[in-house]
Amino acid sequence: MGTAIFMVLMVCGYWYTSRDLSTRFKIKRSFGWDVYFLVALYGCIFVLQGVIATGLTWLILLAVSATLNVLPQFAAFGHHHYQIEFMTWSFLGIQAPVVVMLSFAVLFCLYRSNWAPSARLSSSGRQRLYKRLTRSNGVEGILYQCMEEGELAWVTLKSRRIYIGMIHTASFDNTTANNLVLIPMLSGYRSSKSLELCIEHNYSAWYAKHNITLTSEPRSAMIFRKVILLDQIESLSLFDPASAMALQMHADEK
């Protein structure tokens, strides 16, 4: 019986944490024993809900038995004690309350994972969720701001390669292959001596010259997209062309 409870607890916890959006983010940011304890925590919550539901079932059977024993038309058939039969009945060697408790736990898990409103978020609901989850992480916060507001991002790689462009998507679901997809506007490198930005390719001028947009056919800006692994990024910031030009002019005057 203890093995059955433990198995249902862990399976329910794993099923929920692998499908709930916000919990999946927590799992991806956890390591080692934290993952097991997080899975067990949600499994315990569902099992506890099953215990409460089983207790309510017992109270309902007690109320039904008491009502039938009070009514004379039913009292003639004998004394009713459904709550006692519920506690003593067994299924495959397991007592009925345990079977009912585990069944309720599985049903609650399936409901919260597939049919609850939190499991079927609309686009606006997902947007609010992502915004709340990215507040605790600086990199994710900047990436979300770039995607939401259409800001340009300045990405400096460990190789001193620099890309300035629009963030199309970002993936944080895989701890070894987290990446972002960038549509470049400018690319270059930092000088090894002065660390100044040296522009090599002006993608935005190419786009304007050939009438290429994000939705143009047959060629769009998406064919120039760059997939960059997050572990290859040295720094990430917003890029404002006006401010960058003002800073450059001030440096030249000095």
Q: The domain at 125-253 falls in which architecture? A: Roll (2.30)
25 neighbors 18 (Cβ within 8 angstroms): no
**Between 151 and 76, where is the model more confident?**
151
Percent of the chain residues past pLDDT 70, beyond the cut: 74
Dist. CA 50–CA 27, nearest whole Å: 24
Query: pLDDT at residue 183 above 80?
Result: yes
Q: Report the amino acid identity of residue 114.
A: N
Where helices occur in the chain by DSSP H, the ranges are 2-17, 21-28, 33-70, 72-75, 82-88, 96-110, 123-133, 138-149, 203-209, 241-253
Dist. CA 231–CA 6, nearest whole Å: 38
Dist. CA 186–CA 85, nearest whole Å: 76
Spans of all domains in the chain: 2-119, 125-253
- pLDDT at position 247 is 45
Digit-coded pLDDT (tens) for 108-160: 888 888 766 655 555 565 556 666 666 666 677 777 777 777 788 889 888 88
Query: pLDDT at residue 249 above 50?
Result: no
**Which residues, other chains included, contact 164 with Cβ-Cβ below 8 Å and sequence gap of 6+?**
152, 153, 154, 155, 184, 185, 186, 187, 239
- pLDDT at position 112 is 83
Dist. CA 134–CA 118, nearest whole Å: 18
- pLDDT at position 118 is 59
Give the confidence band of 49 by pLDDT, cuts at 50, 70, 90.
very high
